[in-house]
Amino acid sequence: MAQTQEAAERELTMSRAMVEAVAQEMREDDDVFLMGEDVADYGGIFSSATDLGEEFGHDRVMDVPISETSYIGAGVGAAQAGMRPIVELMFVDFFGVAMDQIYNNMAKNTYMSGGSVNVPMVLTTAVGGTYNDAAQHSQTLYGTFAHLPGMKVVVPSTAYDAKGLMHTAIRDDDPVVYMFHKRLMGLGWMPSPSGPKTDVPEDAYEIPFGEADVKREGSDVTVVTLGLHVHRAMAAADALADDGIDTEVLDLRTLVPLDTDAVLDSVRKTGRLVVVDEDYRSFGVTSEIAALAAEHALDDLEAVQRVAIPDVPIPYARPLEDEVIPGVDDIEAAVRAVRE
Amino acid sequence: MVSDTNPHFEDVDAETVDELLEQMVRIRRFEEGVLDEFSEGSVPGFVHLCHGHEASHAGMGVAMQPDDWLAVGGSRLHGQYIVKGVPFDEIMAELFGKATGPNGGKGGSMHLADVDRHLYGHAATIGSGQNPAAGLALAQQMRETGNVVLSTIGDGGTSRGSFHTALVFAAAWNLPVVYIIENNGFAISYSTQQQVGIDSLADYGKPLNIPSYSIDGSDPVAVYETISEAITRAREGGGPTLVESRVTRLRGHFEGDKQAYRTEEEARESNAERDPVTNFQERVIEAGHITAEAYDALVDEIDDEVGAAIQFAKDSPDPAPSTAYEDVLRLPLYGQGEGDA
Ligand SMILES: Cc1ncc(C[n+]2csc(CCOP(=O)(O)OP(=O)(O)O)c2C)c(N)n1
Ligand SMILES: [Mg+2]
């Protein structure tokens, strides 16, 4: 990447990096605008729009009434009419109140029109738990969105990726769902693990969709994961290294498109696969990755484990939430288990 | 906004004034306790306090009969639990995420549900609960229970289409339900003026010919009277009512909200002029309805109860991790809820 010298210059939180990409795109392209609840005057509840209202004014950074159906639907229409809207759904958990707009309009209009229209829209949304907000504020729903054809799905885990993936998302001619984990944003009131805060080049740069990132090379076990759990997997890998277990950690970064080669290459190398996901176990990312490995690398596969939220809604109380959201210890245990 | 006539408690009997005052003080003192415990880190997650909504909650609570249903909505929920008769101990325990909370720690501050007390809990998606509330009312109508359903929502939530679908359904079936919009002027940072250009959110009932009222929600007597009338109409088969209860949000949307979108002046003015608890307290003392000493004694008594609730919550056990697998369905699948994770 051309900006590697600059990359060493400054560290940003994931929130700052994501917002910087949006600001740069808005400066370059008048068609880019942002709509969402509490984005303009508040700057986004999870700091996904800090200071954008001030710079671009209420004509391009719009607070909207609480009517996800109206403003997500309006985003779809505006995108088809030539604009490049970025539309924020405050919590992914609320997708249901506007799923018709998302799935039947945003994701299907291109196909059903026989390709005569396209929807260059970015739907940003906060995901994830670990802060005691109960079952309707804590989900990731990665699998739900990745399951439905017609939209790209992006899940950054670091500031560097957050910026690059946002540039790519805004410039993309198709709908992109950009899912940012609250715990990774670097909020004062919700401390991040170490890891998401990285060096970020000042200039705009793109990270191509469909390229997973090998966070750590290893020869014994492959851990495939995304979002917050990239950092939990790295912590587990560190602990396992003390016992001489060499773990490879793969950050998918985008679910749609999926970097199948990266997954298969790693599995062929290690023969042991652990898939870690902060989403429900059944019919989700973990099943998809396991199926992929089984379909294409069965001969190389010695063992597979899935680490995900057991199929229960996410409870409020600390000991209950800790029980169901995969922790570093759960990942460690799974890695040990596939080696037995 | 506090009207000149607030509070015109001459219109109601002394017992009702007592009840209204007590409920308001109960809510305020409880919330002060919650605030302390949240600051201490004992209450996890988010808390949204009711400061400014006390008169509205008290008025509707006192107007209801115990068997009437309250489907809670909006963000200011603790006061609604209190006026529905959920004891401090239980609410506090749920806020602490303890096993002794009504939801066993699965719900927390925003999601207390207590079917025995006819308290229907809140779903995080604001503006959705009005439809199940219509369903609760449909069940009362079909089973001829004579009970009425109250359903609350914030000003912000009324922008949701699903709020309006509930009104359509309630009007079509002439259901025994009272919808109350607690308009505190804000949806987080977004002011009601920015949201919609209509004068009164009660006007949303007009196209459907639903009797609609806009009242000063910081006057507990006005709330009590209007809601009582609506409940009577509903009980007698007169169908739904829509009430806009105009209140003030005296604190941030949630604790930790820095409110940069609100001018200091406006916030200060709200606190000085629109605090319904101070206002009502001063007026009832002034009118000689209660002595200052008796009022202080009431506050002390309630504070003791709040203190005991905090102690109860602290002493209560955490839920066992294995309970995370219980209650997904009434009848467990795959051995869930049988201790087999
Ligand atoms: C469908 C949906 N969209 C957005 C949110 C996020 N949210 C929670 S409370 C709130 C503001 C609610 O304002 P209002 O209805 O006026 O109630 P208040 O907080 O003022 O009591 C918002 C936007 C939500 N909970 N549900
Ligand atoms: Mg409001």
Domain assignment of residue A204, yes or no: no
User: Per residue in B109-119, pLDDT tens?
Assistant: 999 999 999 99
pLDDT at B332: 75
Residue A153 lies in a domain: yes
Q: Quickly list DSSP for B260-313.
A: TTS-HHHHHHHHHH--HHHHHHHHHHHTTSS-HHHHHHHHHHHHHHHHHHHHHH
The pLDDT, as a whole number, for residue A241 is 98
pLDDT, residue B3, reads 42
CB contact under 8 A, B161 and A67: yes
Ligand 1 in contact with A37 (CB < 6 A)? yes
Mean pLDDT across chain B: 93
Residue B194's pLDDT band (cuts 50, 70, 90) = confident
**B229-272 pLDDT, tens digit each:** 999 999 999 999 999 999 999 999 999 999 999 887 777 776 66
Q: Is A219 found in the same domain as A174?
A: no
Which residue range is the domain that position A323 belongs to? 213-339
**Ligand 1 midpoint to CA B156 (Å):** 6
Taking only the tens place, the pLDDT of each residue in B143-177 is 999 999 999 999 999 999 999 999 999 999 999 99
Region B282-309 average pLDDT: 96
pLDDT at B8 over 70: no
- The answer to whether A103 faces chain B, any CB pair under 8 Å, is no
CB B79 within 8 A of CB B50: yes
Residue A63: closest C-alpha in chain B: B190
Bridge partners, residue A216, by sequence? A249
- Domain membership of residue A292 (yes or no) is yes
Residues A168 and A260 in one domain: no
Proximal ligand: closest to the CA of B76: 1
**Interatomic CA distance for residues B56 and B218, integer angstroms:** 6
Tell me phi and psi for residue A33, to 5 degrees.
Answer: -145, 165
Q: Do A125 and A272 sit in the same domain of this protein?
A: no
- Domain co-membership, A167 together with A219: no
Ligand 1 site, residue A45, Cβ cutoff 6 A: no
A157 in the same domain as A235: no
Chain CA centroid to CA A88, Å: 14
Count the neighbouring beta carbons within 10 Å of the beta carbon of residue B148. Answer: 29
Which residues of chain B does A131 touch, with a Cβ-Cβ cutoff of 8 Å?
44-45
In a domain, residue A322? The reply is yes
What the block records as the tokens of B159 is 């922008």
Name the residue of chain A whose CA is nearest to B259's CA: A42
Beta strand segments in chain A, E:
11-12, 32-36, 61-63, 84-91, 122-127, 152-154, 176-181, 198-199, 213-216, 221-225, 247-251, 254-256, 272-280, 303-309
CA atoms within 13 Å, Cβ hemisphere of A230: 25
Q: How far is CA B96 from the centre of its chain?
A: 19
Q: Chain B within 8 Å of A133 (Cβ-Cβ)?
A: yes
Per-residue pLDDT reduced to its tens digit, A108-157: 999 999 999 999 999 999 999 999 999 999 999 999 999 999 999 999 99
Sheet with B149-154: list strands edge to edge. B119-120, B69-71, B149-154, B177-183, B241-246, B212-216
pLDDT tens per residue, range A302-316: 999 999 999 999 999
CA of B126 to the centre of ligand 1 (A): 6
Same domain, A225 and A301: yes
What's residue B2's pLDDT? 40
pLDDT for position B338: 58
N-to-C CA span, chain A = 40
Cα separation, A274 vs A304, whole angstroms = 6
Percent of chain B with pLDDT over 90: 86
Which one-letter amino acid corresponds to residue B185? G
Residues making up chain A, counted from first to last: 340
Query: How far apart are the CA of B338 and the nearest CA of chain A, in angstroms?
Result: 14
Q: Is the pLDDT of residue B278 over 80?
A: yes
Chain B residues in contact with A45 by the CB 8 A cut-off are 188
| Protein residue whose Cα sits closest to atom 12 of ligand 1 | B187
* Domain containing residue A158: CATH number: 3.40.50.970
A213 reaches B (C-beta below 8 A): no
**A136 touching chain B per CB within 8 A:** yes
Residues A90 and A229 in one domain: no
Q: Within 13 Å of residue A8, how many CA atoms lie on the same side as its CB?
A: 2
The complex scores an ipTM of 0.92
Per DSSP, what are the bridge partners of residue B186? B191
Instruction: Give the model's confidence band at B1: pLDDT under 50 very low, under 70 low, under 90 confident, else very high.
Output: very low
| pLDDT confidence of residue A8 | 55
> Does residue A328 belong to any structural domain of this protein?
yes
Which pLDDT score, from 0 to 100, does residue B264 have?
A: 77
pLDDT of residue B6: 52
Angle between helices B14-40 and B88-95 in degrees, nearest 10? 30
CA A329 vs. chain centroid, Å, equals 23
What does DSSP say about strands A198-199 and A11-12: parallel, antiparallel, or unpaired? antiparallel
Q: Decide if A67 and B323 are in contact by the 8 Å CB cutoff.
A: no
A254 and A142 part of one domain: no
Last residue of a domain, one of A168, A199, A230: A199
Helix (H) or strand (E) holding B151: strand B149-154
Query: What's the B105 CA to ligand 2 centre distance in angstroms?
Result: 27
Expressed in angstroms and rounded, the spacing between residue B191 Cα and the centre of ligand 1 is 12
DSSP state string for B55-84: HHHHHHHHHS-TTSEEE--SS--HHHHHHT
Tell me the angle at which helices A285-297 and A260-270 cross, rounded to the nearest 10 degrees: 60
Kindly report the nearest CA distance between residue A323 and chain B, in angstroms. Answer: 6
| A156 located within any domain | yes
Q: Domain containing A278 — which CATH number?
A: 3.40.50.920
Please check whether residue A171 is in contact with residue A121, taking contact to mean a CB–CB distance below 8 angstroms: no
Across the A:B interface, residue pairs with CB atoms under 8 Å apart total 130
Closest CA in chain A for residue B340: A310
CB contact under 8 A, B190 and A317: no
Distance (Å) from CA B158 to ligand 1 centroid: 10
Domain boundary among A152, A176, A199: A199
Rounded CA separation A60/B64 (Å): 47
Residues A40 and A178 in one domain: yes
User: Is residue B42 very low, low, confident or very high in pLDDT (cuts 50, 70, 90)?
Assistant: very high
Give me the tens of pLDDT residue by residue for chain A, a chain 340 residues long: 444 554 457 999 999 999 999 999 999 999 999 999 999 999 999 999 999 999 999 999 999 999 999 999 999 999 999 999 999 999 999 999 999 999 999 999 999 999 999 999 999 999 999 999 999 999 999 999 999 999 999 999 999 999 999 999 999 999 999 999 999 999 999 999 999 999 999 999 999 999 999 999 999 999 999 999 999 999 999 999 999 999 999 999 999 999 999 999 999 999 999 999 999 999 999 999 999 999 999 999 999 999 999 999 999 999 999 999 999 999 999 999 999 8
Interface test with B, best of A39, A58, A67 (most B CBs within 10 A): A67
pLDDT at B193: 75
* In a shared domain, residues A15 and A158: yes
What pLDDT band is residue B341 in, cutting at 50, 70 and 90?
Answer: very low
Q: Residue A285: name the closest of A147, A156, A78, A155 by CA.
A: A147
Give B115's Cβ-side CA count (13 Å radius): 2
Residue B203 predicted with pLDDT over 50: yes
Active site residues of A: 137
Specify whether A190 is located in the same domain as A255.
no
Domain boundary among A177, A199, A221: A199
**Rounded-to-integer distance, Cα A226 and Cα A155, Å:** 7
The DSSP line for B152-213 is EEETGGGGSHHHHHHHHHHHHTT-SEEEEEEE-SEETTEEHHHH---S-GGGGGGGGT--EE
Q: Is A206 a member of any domain?
A: no
Ligand 1: does its nearest atom lie under 6 Å from the Cβ of B231?
no
Question: What average pLDDT does chain A have?
Answer: 96
**pTM beyond cutoff 0.80:** yes
**What is the tens place of the pLDDT at every residue in A3-26?**
455 445 799 999 999 999 999 999
Same-domain check for residues A29 and A57 = yes
Q: List all residues 6 or more positions away from A60 whose beta carbon is below 8 Å from its beta carbon.
A: A26, A32, A33, A34
- Is ligand 1 within 6 A of the CB of residue B157? yes
Number of independent structural domains in chain A? 2
